[in-house]
Structure 1
Amino acid sequence: MGRYTFRLPDIGEGIAEAEIVAWHVQPGDTIAEDQPIADMMTDKATVEMESPVSGTVLEVAGEAGDTIAIGSMLVVIEVEGESEGEGTAPATTVEVAKDTVEPALPDADDDAPEAIETPEPEPQGEPVATPGPVHTGRVLASPAVRARAKDLGLDLAQVRPATDARIRHADLDAFISYNAAFATPGAARADEAIKVIGLRKRIAQNMAASKRHIPHFSYVEECDVTELERVRAQLNAARGDRPKLTMLPLLIRAICRLIPDFPMINARYDDEANVVVRHGGVHLGMATQTGSGLMVPVIRDAQSRNPWQLAREIARLANAARDGTAKSDELSGSTLTITSLGPLGGVAATPVINRPEVAIIGPNRIVERPMFVPDGMGGERIEKRKLMNVSISCDHRVVDGYDAASFVQELKKLVEAPALLLADGG
């Protein structure tokens, strides 16, 4: 018998090291060629490493959460024959995992700013959960699904996928809901010690770096979105086969209209070079909740898209982030980020900046309250109106308080006067 040393290959992103997110094999396991052996996370993606040979695993490099250098030993495999060997194999990107530092966006209703995250697809065909084993071979699932199942203590072999052989987050949700009906209530859960690895580790590192390096300040203003909501309803009534408009595409449209007059908002700050780059295009990041953690898919050149195009791109990117098909370039390069908790958005927020950007905008929940409005005869009357607070956090090294306040006030004008927002046919 011989020994084959499989070394961590260059994943092609110019990186020097990668973090072990999860092992699919352990010493003593018999594996086949092309069988997944480990999930490795770089700064931008989680990749699934596959074995280039068949044999028995003799040794693995470290535990989940450890970082190893490119070219170093990942796993040693006992193979047929007497010769020693070593090599690498191409890595398969199975789930892009860009870091984020902000709360993400659950689904919104018609009275709330849009949540970035789109709903799980409804199960089709037969029920997606059963109380007994349903798999007879290898379980297909992304690293994010595997990690979530491990955290929940679920055996993926017990979960039936809804549409094909791959188990997705929707299948886990359905399985949990099915089995919850038969759970015994009142049992206390044992304490858990959960190692912070993978995407959660990246989030923690980025959030700490953002707060450590950036002097944040936040500003909040109340906007009357009654007329904007009325216009949105009219547009949706005549949308045809176009996607349904929520509040978010209209807010993005307003933001992009203002950026030429407030270029300091759409910028990135290089701390080491001490250079601020004010970007001409608005590459808008959307803080998004996924089953594997918080991610920031990016709408490229948002300033060039109309509300319908924005709505379609928002849905596409959110779905790609959730199901693990988002590409690396779709999760990097944002110049400004928007974050919202939709109907859970509360009164106001102080969002954390997605470094190296210098600003982040957070629309909050829409609420109905009585307000004094002009009665058209020089007086006022009380009327029920839809109100929404807009929060902005800025890097005080780059953006002055006056500039941030002026930007939000101009945003308020556009939001409260939809005719101005859509005057150019947007």
Structure 2
Amino acid sequence: MAHVDVEMPKMGESITEGTVIAWHKQPGDEVDQDEILLEIGTDKVDTEVPSPKGGVLAETLVEEGDTVEVGTIIATLETEPEAAGGSTNDAPSPTEEPAEQEEAESETEADEADAAPEDDEQEAATPAPEEAASPAPSADEVEVVMPKMGESITEGTVVAWYKDIGEEVTIDETLLEIGTDKVDTEVPSPAEGVLAEKLVEEDETVEVGTVVALLASEAEAGSVTPPASEAPDETQEAAPETDEAELPSTSPSGDGAVRDPDEPQRPPEETIKRRGDDGRFYSPLVRSIAKEEGLPMSELEALEGSGRGGRVTKEDVLAYLEEREEAPAAPATAPERPPRPSRSDEGPPARGDYTVEDGPSDEALRQQYGDRIEVQPMDRMRKMTAEHMVRSKATSAHVTSFAEADVTGLVRLREANKEVFLEREGVKLTYTPFFVKAAVEALREHPLLNASVEGDKIVIKHDFHVGIAVAIGNKGLLAPVIRNAGDYNVTGLARTAASMADRARNKELQPDELQGGTFTVTNIGSLGSLMGTPIINQPQVGILATGAIQKRPVVVENDGLGDAISVRHMMYLSLSYDHRIIDGAMGSGFLQRVVTELESFSKDQDLF
């Protein structure tokens, strides 16, 4: 027989210890590989731990309720020699000295590495909470993982599932939509089969690499059945919280509102015990929620638990708290909470502290405005835009300056080249690359417009990463970034801008392509606007809006023969800038440099 150690798994970068909540197997019980062996918990999440090997549970080294450090051996398994990757001759005899046993075990481990490298690779990586909670796929199942969406993106949110459990899916067919704070992206199916299980619900946020679903092959399709009800599954306790800081600071109903600092004091930590007087064990997660929500031990003990052996789960506590808030009279032992002040009572949001809160119910809105209204909830993109725009106005002192440009030469240059440009480059020649080119030349002479404010310091960027605003129908606006825009000519800018705009509308942008911008250009004229006052895209300090090009009669000099009236192609430009570091003179100087650059284009200019 071979021995396999079971360790307390690592549950995240900031988690250094875990508590054994319940053993699902007892010494002497047989256990299959990946069968649930025990349940552990932290103050953030409770997780079921699968067995690393098949065999017999020889010994449990940690009792229920004990808290030990990550990496501590908590149990040993006795496995068949072939299950451990070795032979009967590799196992040490009972008479061997400890040093000889260690040497024999080292040889056994070396044999395991040669015989089953796949198993070693699986064991080398400490399971994350999500992985521990997810059942291991069979040979005929395919894992769908949260994809990596850029170097700086470490997590994603499931925005919507496009398939339900039991539905067939073909390879590369859209399975779900995920989002970050920058962009929403559709995730294609990595294989053909049937959606067997969803391991992450909509609106849940999990780390990159987390298994979010399992696909079954056609051979297993008959065994896949949709869930019978929407009752919460106890195994969902293992899902990570959306934000570690969110649990203690928000209400159990998920309204995202910040707690009133004047609300009653929470009971001290020592009042929430690991075990109640009835002997029931309360996991660190349950105790954490109880402390943060002002739930005394006596009230916690009165709850009927839906977990294993009557244990109180996270869902039990949150459901009780929600019922208590909705009830007209709370239990005598529960502290009464003062009503949360409305946004209008609190005054304007603090810098970086604005979030879109849940609005009144549809019924309340109809009572206020009547029945002839239509209520549309904000989608995720609109909420992110609202938060970002309000935060920008609260951060920067916005000022907008205007200028007018005669772009007759630019119009004639484009008209003369647009057909041959489309044929040669495969993309349409728009005015956007000319606007970006002019903005970059102006930034070279006014580097303070290519900066950001960090506290009391100004960070001037020497690379010109220009964002171009792209309208996504009625859903909102994205600003993909053309990196090192100063290195491109008009042709290169045209190709890059066209590619980014097309991918933005088809949800194919990566989050890294939407961040790192140092300045933004928005062509509001493409939608017919003459001028506008755009909001700065933080942490930038300037944004240029280009209005519609129109023919207008203009007074022009006629080669020294006096003034004349001529029909010219004219446009307005507007620059919004951060008045903390950009004054009116500098803003106007920048605009005039853009005007000079745009008016320098002519029909006879070589575009290629």
TM-score tier by shorter-chain length is: 0.5 to 0.7
Q: Which runs of 5+ in 1 are unaligned?
A: 89-188
Once the two structures are superposed, the pairs formed by residues 173-192 of structure 1 within 5 Å of their partners are 191-192=373-374
- 2:461 matches 1:286: no
Distance 1:59 1:306, change over 3 A: closer
- Who is 1:394 aligned against? 577
Kept in 2: contact 1:60–1:76 (CA 8 A): no
280-289 or 410-419: bigger deviation? 410-419
| Residue in structure 1 matching 2:540, options 344, 357, 363 | 357
Tell me how far apart the structure 1 counterparts of residues 152 and 419 of structure 2 sit (CA, whole Å).
49
Kept in 2: contact 1:36–1:51 (CA 8 A): no
Match of 2:523, SS state, is coil
Once the two structures are superposed, the pairs formed by residues 250-329 of structure 1 within 5 Å of their partners are 250-270=434-454, 273-291=455-473, 293-329=476-512
TM-score (norm 1): 0.61
| Residue in structure 2 matching 1:224, options 406, 426, 432 | 406
Deviations 1:205-237 (A, max 9, x none): 111111121111101111111122223334447
- Who is 1:39 aligned against? 177
Distance 1:349 1:377, change over 3 A: same
Once the two structures are superposed, the pairs formed by residues 5-404 of structure 1 within 5 Å of their partners are 5-6=133-134, 12=148, 18-24=156-162, 29-30=165-166, 38-46=176-184, 48=187, 61=201, 66-68=203-205, 70=207, 191-236=373-418, 239=421, 241-242=424-425, 243-270=427-454, 273-291=455-473, 293-404=476-587
- Who is 1:156 aligned against? none
Distance 1:360 1:335, change over 3 A: same
- Who is 2:285 aligned against? none
Distance 1:216 1:345, change over 3 A: farther
Equivalent pairs, count: 315
Pair member with larger Rg: 2
Match of 1:258, SS state, is helix
Tell me how far apart the structure 1 counterparts of residues 401 and 492 of structure 2 sit (CA, whole Å).
29
Distance 1:217 1:5, change over 3 A: same
The code of the aligned residue for 1:389 comes to Y
Offset at 1:67?
4.9
Cα RMSD after superposing both structures: 4.2
The code of the aligned residue for 2:436 comes to I
Tell me how far apart the structure 1 counterparts of residues 514 and 601 of structure 2 sit (CA, whole Å).
31
Offset at 1:409?
1.1
Kept in 2: contact 1:5–1:76 (CA 8 A): no
Which structure has the highest helix share of the two?
Answer: 2
Tell me how far apart the structure 1 counterparts of residues 382 and 565 of structure 2 sit (CA, whole Å).
48
Offset at 1:303?
0.8
Match of 2:549, SS state, is strand
Deviations 1:224-265 (A, max 9, x none): 111222233344476461355332222221221221210011
Tell me how far apart the structure 2 counterparts of residues 371 and 263 of structure 1 sit (CA, whole Å).
33
Kept in 1: contact 2:413–2:605 (CA 8 A): no
Offset at 1:19?
3.8
TM-score (norm 2): 0.45
Deviations 1:272-316 (A, max 9, x none): x44332111211101101255321111111111111111111111
- Who is 1:418 aligned against? 601
Offset at 1:360?
0.4
Tell me how far apart the structure 2 counterparts of residues 345 and 36 of structure 1 sit (CA, whole Å).
35
Which structure has the highest strand share of the two?
Answer: 1
Offset at 1:58?
9.3
Distance 1:32 1:281, change over 3 A: same
Offset at 1:402?
0.9
Kept in 2: contact 1:362–1:392 (CA 8 A): yes
Distance 1:10 1:249, change over 3 A: closer
Match of 2:534, SS state, is coil
Offset at 1:51?
11
Q: Which has the higher contact order (CA 8 A, sep 6+)?
A: 1
The code of the aligned residue for 2:443 comes to I
Distance 1:262 1:5, change over 3 A: same
Distance 1:398 1:304, change over 3 A: same
Tell me how far apart the structure 2 counterparts of residues 417 and 370 of structure 1 sit (CA, whole Å).
20
Tell me how far apart the structure 2 counterparts of residues 257 and 391 of structure 1 sit (CA, whole Å).
17
Tell me how far apart the structure 1 counterparts of residues 200 and 480 of structure 2 sit (CA, whole Å).
33
Tell me how far apart the structure 2 counterparts of residues 258 and 267 of structure 1 sit (CA, whole Å).
13
The code of the aligned residue for 1:203 comes to T
The code of the aligned residue for 1:317 comes to M
Kept in 1: contact 2:413–2:601 (CA 8 A): yes
Tell me how far apart the structure 2 counterparts of residues 42 and 366 of structure 1 sit (CA, whole Å).
36
The code of the aligned residue for 2:453 comes to Y
Deviations 1:65-97 (A, max 9, x none): x454659997899x989xx99999xxxxxxxxx
- 2:546 matches 1:408: no
The code of the aligned residue for 1:383 comes to S
Q: Which runs of 5+ in 2 are unaligned?
A: 1-34, 37-131, 136-143, 225-233, 240-370
Match of 2:516, SS state, is coil
Deviations 1:322-355 (A, max 9, x none): 1222222222211111112234342320001111
